[in-house]
Amino acid sequence: MSTVTLTREGHIGVIMINNPPINATSHSVREGIVDALDQIDADPVINVAILICAGKTFIAGADVSEFGQPPKAPILPNVIKCLEASTKPVIAAIHGHALGGGLEVALGCHYRIADKSAKLGLPEVNLGLIPGAGGTVRLPRLVPVHDAISMITSGKPVSSTKANEIGLIDAICHGALLDAAKDFAQTIQKLDLPVPLIAREPVKAPSADEWDSITTTTIKKARGQVAPVVAIDAIRTGIDEDAQTGLTFERQKFVELRDSDQSKALRHIFFAERSVGKLPEIDGVAPNTIREVGVIGGGIMGAGIATASLLAGFNVTIIERNDEACANGRATVEKHLSGSVKRGLITQDRFDQLLAAFSTSTDYAALRNADLVVEAVFEDMNVKHDVFGKLSLHCKADAVLASNTSYLDINEIAAKCVNPGRVIGLHFFSPAHIMKLLEVVHTDKANAKSLATAFAFGRALGKIAVPCGVCDGFIGNRIMSAYRKHCEYMLEDGALPHQIDDAMVEFGFPMGLFAMQDMAGLEISWATRKRLAPFRDPAERYVALGDYLCEMGRFGKKNGLGWYRYDETGKAQPAPEVDTLVIAESEKKGITRRSFSHDEIIHTILTAMRNEGDKIVAEGVARSPDAIDVVMVNGYGFPRHKGGPMYLTRN
Ligand code: NAD
């Protein structure tokens, strides 16, 4: 069946694209649109055309199977030129997503209308690219330039409400889209053909000073990623020079970026994220239906997990130790949800509905109908056993029971439960209602149904769920422990904390290891080290600097002193007294300090990550090197445009 059909309804020609699943701009679609436009042009009866898509969405991107193939005419920029050159007005009728080439097609049309739930965006930067079919030139001629810059450099789509506000669409439709498009066609068919975007002036172009500040902010935000900065150049060229020069420049940069290392790395992580949760053993296994979610513990993690579950539409009950702890848990959840209202993610009405779906209790009997429970109590095996004992007693036999433990052995937790096949790990990252990563820990006895349910839950929460086996620290914390050890060795061998952190930030991490430790608080890992001290191999090199800091009462950012000192605004300054402590420790151990270049620091960190990653894959804890990349990019700040430690250090 053809992917593009043209039907005539009176004076209206309806170009229908049907190229599931995302109506990508495949060759047949490009060709089909041009053919349909030729027919419309030649047909004296048709005086207006509607371009609309079948299925769940408008055109939501390019055809990935064509990546790396030589371009086949008509290429997308020329299809868009044909749309713009049409002698009859074309209305893009958008539902679902109009993304990338999809939005560029819509920009080639004379009018755009969209369903109220539609999203429109130019997400190319996420793949290390810029729009390649006129997006950087046409968008700032339709919406204010600063909105165009924000959409193109962030890659984030906008809602149809926002699109309507900024003039990206001409109307929001309620009800059936095609009917609305036909009504709209009646209102415009007698009007003069609008001036094509390419021939218009930019909307509110920035001054030279504003451009400078936009460029500086973009460079800072991009943290080494090239595409957003090139996007600014492209937008500016199309404005400062002329549209045609802009189009040529954009295409040239698009082609250059497509072949760049950054784009290859970003494509790697994009596909890795989409394949990492596809497990053969749960293929075709129906997950349990989840309506009621229980969360044990309403502390930092529990409240975040409860918030994420509420936002995903589940009824949620937090179980806490006493009424005061329940009230604290409730207050944190309310604070998180208010944050979502403030950021415009949910309405006040939705906030009220979510709170109505939320309860707290000190009685486990409140979980009798729970379909899935996540435990997030203190990191102590005895407390965990106690909790899972109560869950075994009070929950339905097939309720999936998950632990959010960071380091404890979930097999041991499962062993004491009734029906251990339903016990799994769901390792969230803080803040749990924001961080995308979720490690789904496969215990030895976990059955396929529980795993399938855990992955379905992760998907419902909008998380990237990565399967992993039981081990100390799972994937992410284990890799972090390994490279932390080598960073500590570097301290004793001659580096200073802020030098290591500076090298990491320069590489593209949002912050360095020591600043991150200060933020998390130093006393928790201190307690763990003290607990594990009796089991430590005395022959293994041990760096005690973190212990000294805690003994001095330096617990990190929360009390203003850690590896750094913090001013009243919370800004970190290198602490000379810590440098002195580090240097004294080298002396004490008889180590001659030497200097470390940023390159050597990064090489040491990457090698440590790679070596531990290889072990994790060999042990089957991670199913592939890709899983490690996904974890490190989404949970540990590894720069996305470098693809992850395994990808970057591949042979
Ligand atoms: P937290 O101290 O902030 O919260 C723990 C909560 O559990 C407290 O509110 C406490 O009152 C409650 N609690 C303790 N015993 C209980 C019981 N028997 N019944 C009901 N409630 C009980 O701790 P947290 O940081 O939220 O960590 C919770 C778990 O999540 C730990 O296992 C931790 O290792 C893990 N984790 C923490 C992080 C993090 O960044 N904080 C990240 C991933 C995983």
Q: DSSP characters for 266-328?
A: HHHHHHHHHHTT--GGGTTPPPPP--EEEEE--SHHHHHHHHHHHHTT-EEEEE-SSHHHHHH
> For residue 74, how many other CB atoms are within 10 A of its CB?
17
Residue nearest to atom 4 of ligand 1 (CA): 299
- Give residue-wise pLDDT tens across range 617-631: 999 999 999 999 999
- Whether 325 lines ligand 1, by a CB cut-off of 6 Å, is yes
Percent of the chain at pLDDT above 70?
100
The values of phi and psi at residue 362, to 5°, are: -105, 0
H or E segment and range at residue 58:
none
Is 165 catalytic? The answer is no
Q: How far does the centroid of ligand 1 lie from the alpha carbon of residue 350, in Å?
A: 28
pLDDT at 205: 93
Residue nearest to atom 29 of ligand 1 (CA): 376
Place 527 in a pLDDT band, splitting at 50, 70 and 90: confident
Exposure pattern of 138-172 as b/e (b: 16+ CB <10 Å)?
Answer: bbbbbbbbbbbbebbbbbebbbbebbbebebbbbb
- Whether 362 lines ligand 1, by a CB cut-off of 6 Å, is no
Q: Say if residues 470 and 444 touch (Cβ distance below 8 Å).
A: yes
Place 372 in a pLDDT band, splitting at 50, 70 and 90: very high
- pLDDT of residue 71 exceeding 90, the answer is no
Mean of per-residue pLDDT scores for the chain: 96
The values of phi and psi at residue 224, to 5°, are: 95, -10
Active-site choice (9, 66, 124, 577)? 124
- Give residue-wise pLDDT tens across range 224-236: 999 999 999 999 9
Q: What is the DSSP letter of 144?
A: B
**Residue that is written with structure tokens 């699109």 in the block:** 163
pLDDT at 605: 98
Choose which residue among 377, 433, 435, 531 to substitute to test ligand 1 binding: the one with the highest number of ligand atoms within 8 A of its C-beta.
Answer: 377
Is 124 catalytic? The answer is yes
Q: Give the residue from 518, 519, 571 showing the smallest Cα distance to 549.
A: 518
- Give residue-wise pLDDT tens across range 547-566: 999 999 999 998 999 999 99
- pLDDT of residue 651 exceeding 80, the answer is no
**Among 342-346, 383-387, 602-606, whose mean pLDDT is lowest?**
342-346
**Residue that is written with structure tokens 């043209």 in the block:** 6
pLDDT at 129: 96
pLDDT at 298: 97
The values of phi and psi at residue 612, to 5°, are: -70, -40
- Whether 147 lines ligand 1, by a CB cut-off of 6 Å, is no
Separation of alpha carbons 550 and 25, rounded Å: 58
- Give residue-wise pLDDT tens across range 7-54: 999 999 999 999 999 999 999 999 999 999 999 999 999 999 999 999
- Whether 300 lines ligand 1, by a CB cut-off of 6 Å, is yes
- Whether 199 lines ligand 1, by a CB cut-off of 6 Å, is no
